[in-house]
Amino acid sequence: MTDVGHITRVRVEALADHLQIAAAAWAKRLDLPLDGDSEFALQLGEAGLQLVELGPQAPGPVRVDFVEGALAHRRQFGGGSGQMIAKAVGIAPGVRPRVLDATAGLGRDAFVLASLGCHMTLIERQPLIAALLDDGLARAARDAEVAGIVARMQLLTGNAIELMAAWQGEPPQVIYLDPMFPHRDKSALVKKEMRLFRPFVGDDLDAPALLQAALALASHRVVVKRPRKAPPIDGVKPGYVLEGKSSRYDIYPKKKLTAD
């Protein structure tokens, strides 16, 4: 993924006067300006940090919210350990693997797994997305209902391939990958987040190297989420596949997960 400044212009702005100092801290941290013309704005408001495309036809802002909305509904009514993602990473009675989500994005899948009891390490290499995720985790940590869940989520910012190659200590049992797929169908860009993030993120053209690094590090299995009709990542073929209506999970098993 390419450095933000080489693709588009982004400014940081506070949506309330009393947030000016905090907004300035984000601008310094991300090396972004606080004023001037821009195509996008990273805004700090009462509800947290959000990224918005500026202009009359732009979609609404995107932020990370682990407390309310879709993730709260899924946490309460999403099917628990019967969900396909839970089966893909190997959740079973007495089995809650340590998982590295090496393509964390906005952290939704990682939050689902953490809510089911997995200890999660998240890696996000795009600085703006990592900032949204960091802010969302910080706000969730102050909420009594979800604080215990996000306490099982640790965020790392950087290149996942490099971080996995230099991993210190006990390796993750499972590595979860959801690389951005090169969508050629314009309808794939309809979703607000896809439209907003693609100028910054692009496609994960290094997905084969990402898979190779994950296979070298994971102790028990690697799981790759793909669009249902997309080809598998180039390289080693998956051992088996779990297929849903719109997506599937390619499983690369190394060792059987057992109860603690």
The string of pLDDT tens digits covering residues 58-67 is 888 999 999 9
Burial 17-53 (b: 16+ CB within 10 A, else e): eebeeebeebbeebebeeeeebebbbbbeeebbbbbb
Residue 248 has pLDDT above 90, yes or no: yes
Percentages helix, strand, coil for the chain, rounded to the nearest 5?
35, 20, 45
124 appears as a binding residue in the annotation: yes
Measured between alpha carbons, how far is residue 9 from residues 20, 42, 54, 65 in Å? 20, 11, 11, 25
> How many distinct helices (H) and strands (E) make up the chain?
9, 10
125 appears as a binding residue in the annotation: yes
Q: Which two tokens stand for residue 119?
A: 């200890």
Q: What are phi and psi of 215, to 5 degrees?
A: -65, -30
Residue 3 has pLDDT above 50, yes or no: no
Residue 243 has pLDDT above 50, yes or no: yes
Domains in the chain and their CATH numbers? Answer: 4-53 (3.40.1630), 70-253 (3.40.50.150)
What local confidence, expressed as pLDDT, does residue 59 receive? Answer: 80
What local confidence, expressed as pLDDT, does residue 60 receive? Answer: 84
**What is d(CA 62, CA 108) in angstroms, rounded to the nearest whole number?**
13
What local confidence, expressed as pLDDT, does residue 21 receive? Answer: 97
Of the spans 35-39, 43-47, 78-82, which averages the highest pLDDT? Answer: 43-47
Residue 7 has pLDDT above 50, yes or no: no
Give the helix/strand (H/E) hosting 52: strand 48-53
The string of pLDDT tens digits covering residues 117-159 is 999 999 999 999 999 999 999 999 999 999 999 999 999 999 9
Measured between alpha carbons, how far is residue 75 from residues 72, 86, 145, 199, 232 in Å? 5, 13, 11, 31, 29
The string of pLDDT tens digits covering residues 165-224 is 999 999 999 999 998 765 444 444 346 677 777 777 766 668 999 999 999 999 999 999
98 appears as a binding residue in the annotation: no
Mean pLDDT of the chain: 88
Assign 246 a pLDDT band (cuts: 50, 70, 90): confident
The string of pLDDT tens digits covering residues 44-58 is 999 999 999 998 888
What local confidence, expressed as pLDDT, does residue 217 receive? Answer: 98
Q: What are phi and psi of 132, to 5 degrees?
A: -60, -40
10 Å Cβ neighbour count for 203? 13
Got the DSSP string for 194-229? HHHHHHHH---TTHHHHHHHHHHH-SSEEEEEEETT
Measured between alpha carbons, how far is residue 98 from residues 78, 152, 168, 194 in Å? 21, 10, 15, 29
Torsion of CA 142, 145, 73, 243, to 10 degrees: 90
Residue 246 vs residue 16, higher pLDDT: 16
What local confidence, expressed as pLDDT, does residue 202 receive? Answer: 64
- Three-class DSSP labels, 29-41: HHCCCCCCCCCEE
Q: Cα–Cα–Cα angle for 147, 151, 156, nearest 5°?
A: 130
Residue 103 has pLDDT above 90, yes or no: yes
101 appears as a binding residue in the annotation: no
**What is d(CA 194, CA 49) in angstroms, rounded to the nearest whole number?**
18
The string of pLDDT tens digits covering residues 180-189 is 765 444 444 3
29 appears as a binding residue in the annotation: no
